[in-house]
Amino acid sequence: MIRQFSIHDRRFLPIFGMKKVLSLIVFSLSLVWVHAQTTVNSEIDTSRIRIGEQIRYKISVETDSSSVVFFPEGQTFSPMETVEAFLTDTTRSENRLLLQKTYALTQFDSGQYMIPGQRIEIDGKGYLTDSVRIDVGNVPVDTLTQPMYDIKPLIEVERNYAGVWKILLWILLLVAVIGILVYFLFIKKEKLSEEEKEALLPAYDRALLELSRLENSKYLIQDEYKKYYSELTDIVRSYLEEDANISALESTTNQLIEKLEMLKDAGELKLTKDTIRQFQMILQTADLVKFAKSKPPTNKAENDRKAVEEIVMKTKEALPEPSEEELMQQKEYQEEIARKRRKKNMIKLAAAVLLVLLATTAGFTAYYGPKYVWDTVTRDPSKKLLEGEWISSTYGYPPIILETPEVLVRKSSPSHLQSTEKLKDLYQFEYNNEDGLFMVEATSKTLLEETEPNYEQSLEQVLIDLEKKGARNIITKQEEFTTVSGVKGVKVYGSGTFKEPGTDDRIKGQYMLLMFGGNGFQQQLLLSWADEDEYAEEIIDRILSSFDVKTQA
């Protein structure tokens, strides 16, 4: 059985001795100190560069493997500019950890610069590196052989219409649909059925065709004399009604014969008495078959059909030639029929186009929502800005970097600003939407003295300018703001009532002022937009996500 003992047990102190115990304690503490020791070093590959060249600034941290280390980020090497921060190189050795972080730095102005000590946070405790001096020399320029030119002024560039193809695509699609409808309604001739073709034939030709078809029918073979004589009399009655203008279909046999005799006596229908009498006998036979169920011999039924065919031909010959007035009336009638047909086709086309537009609108409304479709049709100014081609650029000095829906145009600055704020240089760029309240203004200032900028004075001046433009009831709130590269500044924002451009009306709006700076310089970005304008809010979010400043003066 193995028994464990503790060095703190008084029974064993005589065995080890006091000196041995103290030595063991000192040795254990030294091991803990070695494992807990943390070292931070920094070095550069060169201390002398020319304008635009880069140096490599490396920070090395040796610490315990369980430690949490945070290296500096963003523009913390000012006045040197951070070009790139490389990935951290990690080396492990037992329970020790060696971390190396390299930064590429540069400067675009000659002189001597001091890189401040960088703070590295290890397990919540801060460690500072030594400051380093960098000499930036000028690049020699041969002004004798190389001519110097003035700075070129701002020029207007043509808008890029890369996004227009989407609109053209929809227009082409709509035109194609309308073209297809026009082709099928107006150009393409539909294939007519046999019944439709027959209906378009003249009354005389149609009557002979129907009589020929009756001749080849099986009515007589099947003893269907009633159907046979019904069709036979309907054919001749329809012909007389169309060509001779006699109301034959609704007339009895005697009434129809009387009308023929009256037309004959009046000289409007040149038929012989024998022809009329023969026709009367056929009609009477048909009446007997249809109403008295009479059944004449088959050869008589066939002869009656032939007789009706002769009566139709004789009636055609007996009809007088149409007068010029009748021909004109017929022509006008045909033109009226054609006009009605065109009108009918146009109504069909308009209905089809309307249906296509309604279906397209309904599809867009279901997918994007009614407000989006309405704003697209009415060309909402904020939506137009949001969906246009955005421009990314750098403005002023020290530089302000941001992406905007329209390029900012440099404006002349009031002289009182330079005298009031003791400015050395002032750069102001702005964009104002004439159709709405949306506005962007970027301002860079360099001060006459190497002092920190006065944010309160800048805010007061901005509020005065807004009031001069008609703003009222301005509410201000303030908080910290950090750019995409980690530069911290002041954010002032709020709401108020603003004067709508081009009118005396006032609308509710919002504004935002971002201010940054250092010794001898200041940068600020001013934004304003209409309240509850979701498109403007999307524009603001996109501008802020791209906004950055370079903290060098």
**Do 401 and 540 reside in the same domain of the chain?**
yes
Domain membership flag for residue 127:
yes
Whichever domain contains 65, its CATH number is: 2.60.40.10
Residue 189 has φ and ψ, to the nearest 5°, of -90, 120
Q: Which residues, 6 or more positions from 315, have their beta carbon under 8 angstroms from its beta carbon?
A: 239, 240, 243, 244, 269, 271
**Do 106 and 242 reside in the same domain of the chain?**
no
- Say how many C-beta atoms besides its own lie within 10 A of residue 171's C-beta: 10
Residue 259 in this model has a pLDDT that exceeds 60: yes
The CA distance from 39 to 98, in Å, is 10
Confidence grade of residue 486 (pLDDT, cut at 50, 70, 90): confident
In the prediction, which pLDDT does 333 show? 60
In the prediction, which pLDDT does 196 show? 65
Mean pLDDT of 323-328: 64
In the prediction, which pLDDT does 406 show? 86
**Do 438 and 534 reside in the same domain of the chain?**
yes
Total domains in the fold of the chain: 5
Structural domain of 89: 39-137
In the prediction, which pLDDT does 10 show? 44
Residue 194 in this model has a pLDDT that exceeds 80: no
Residue 453 in this model has a pLDDT that exceeds 50: yes
The CA distance from 490 to 118, in Å, is 23
- Say how many C-beta atoms besides its own lie within 10 A of residue 239's C-beta: 25
- More confident position, 485 or 191: 485
Candidate from 105-109, 116-120, 365-369 with smallest mean pLDDT:
365-369
In the prediction, which pLDDT does 525 show? 92
Asked which of 266, 290, 318 is the last residue of a domain, the reply is 318
Residue 513 in this model has a pLDDT that exceeds 50: yes
Confidence grade of residue 12 (pLDDT, cut at 50, 70, 90): very low
Confidence grade of residue 149 (pLDDT, cut at 50, 70, 90): low
In the prediction, which pLDDT does 139 show? 66
Residue 41 in this model has a pLDDT that exceeds 60: yes
**Do 93 and 225 reside in the same domain of the chain?**
no
Q: What is the pLDDT of residues 333-373, one digit of tens each?
A: 667 767 777 777 778 777 777 777 777 777 666 666 666 66
The CA distance from 423 to 426, in Å, is 7
Q: Choose among 64, 43, 42, 57: nearest CA to 122.
A: 64
In the prediction, which pLDDT does 228 show? 92
**Do 517 and 414 reside in the same domain of the chain?**
yes
- More confident position, 155 or 226: 226
Domain membership flag for residue 126:
yes
Candidate from 187-191, 317-321, 381-385, 545-549 with smallest mean pLDDT:
187-191
Confidence grade of residue 11 (pLDDT, cut at 50, 70, 90): very low
In the prediction, which pLDDT does 375 show? 66
Q: Which residues are registered as beta bridge partners of 60?
A: 41, 100
Q: Which residues, 6 or more positions from 86, have their beta carbon under 8 angstroms from its beta carbon?
A: 101, 102, 103, 104
In the prediction, which pLDDT does 54 show? 92
The CA distance from 220 to 472, in Å, is 102
In the prediction, which pLDDT does 14 show? 45
The CA distance from 87 to 101, in Å, is 7
Asked which of 355, 378, 401 is the last residue of a domain, the reply is 378
**Do 418 and 398 reside in the same domain of the chain?**
yes
Match 């494992």 to its residue by tokens.
35
Residue 418 in this model has a pLDDT that exceeds 50: no
**Do 399 and 365 reside in the same domain of the chain?**
no
Residue 31 in this model has a pLDDT that exceeds 80: no
Mean pLDDT of 436-455: 84
Whichever domain contains 244, its CATH number is: 1.20.120
Domain membership flag for residue 180:
no
Domain membership flag for residue 61:
yes
Domain membership flag for residue 153:
no
DSSP secondary structure string for all residues of 191-253: PPPHHHHHHTS-HHHHHHHHHHHHHTSSTTTTT-HHHHHHHHHHHHHHHHHHHS----TTS-H
The CA distance from 183 to 189, in Å, is 9
In the prediction, which pLDDT does 126 show? 87
Q: What is the pLDDT of residues 51-61, one digit of tens each?
A: 888 999 999 99
Domain membership flag for residue 151:
no
In the prediction, which pLDDT does 553 show? 43
Q: Most confidently modeled of 170-179, 234-243, 449-458, 501-510?
A: 234-243
Residue 16 in this model has a pLDDT that exceeds 50: no
Average pLDDT of the chain to the nearest whole number:
79
Confidence grade of residue 326 (pLDDT, cut at 50, 70, 90): low
**Do 250 and 338 reside in the same domain of the chain?**
no
Sheet bearing 48-50, strands edge to edge = 48-50, 132-137, 111-115
Mean pLDDT of 267-271: 81
264 is written with which tokens?
């004959």
Say which DSSP state 11 is in: G
**Do 411 and 278 reside in the same domain of the chain?**
no
Match 């019904």 to its residue by tokens.
230
Q: Is 445 exposed, middle or buried (0-12, 13-18, 19+ CB in 10 A)?
A: buried
Domain membership flag for residue 174:
no
CA dihedral 183, 184, 188, 189 (to 10 degrees): -150
In the prediction, which pLDDT does 244 show? 80
* Alpha-carbon separation of residue 538 from 62, 382, 387, 430, 541 (angstroms): 46, 9, 10, 19, 5
Residue 151 in this model has a pLDDT that exceeds 70: no
In the prediction, which pLDDT does 106 show? 92
Strands 48-50 and 132-137: parallel
Candidate from 109-113, 158-162, 197-201 with smallest mean pLDDT:
158-162
**Do 385 and 530 reside in the same domain of the chain?**
yes
Confidence grade of residue 192 (pLDDT, cut at 50, 70, 90): low
Domain membership flag for residue 188:
no
**Do 521 and 388 reside in the same domain of the chain?**
yes
Report the percent of the chain where pLDDT is more than 70.
77
Candidate from 359-363, 427-431, 483-487 with smallest mean pLDDT:
359-363
Mean pLDDT of 139-155: 62
Q: Is the CA virtual torsion 237, 238, 243, 246 positive or negative?
A: positive
Mean pLDDT of 284-288: 91
**Do 271 and 410 reside in the same domain of the chain?**
no
Q: Is the CA virtual torsion 430, 546, 424, 50 positive or negative?
A: negative
- More confident position, 352 or 251: 251
Whole-structure pTM over 0.75, yes or no?
no
* Alpha-carbon separation of residue 121 from 38, 63, 64, 85, 97 (angstroms): 11, 12, 14, 17, 15
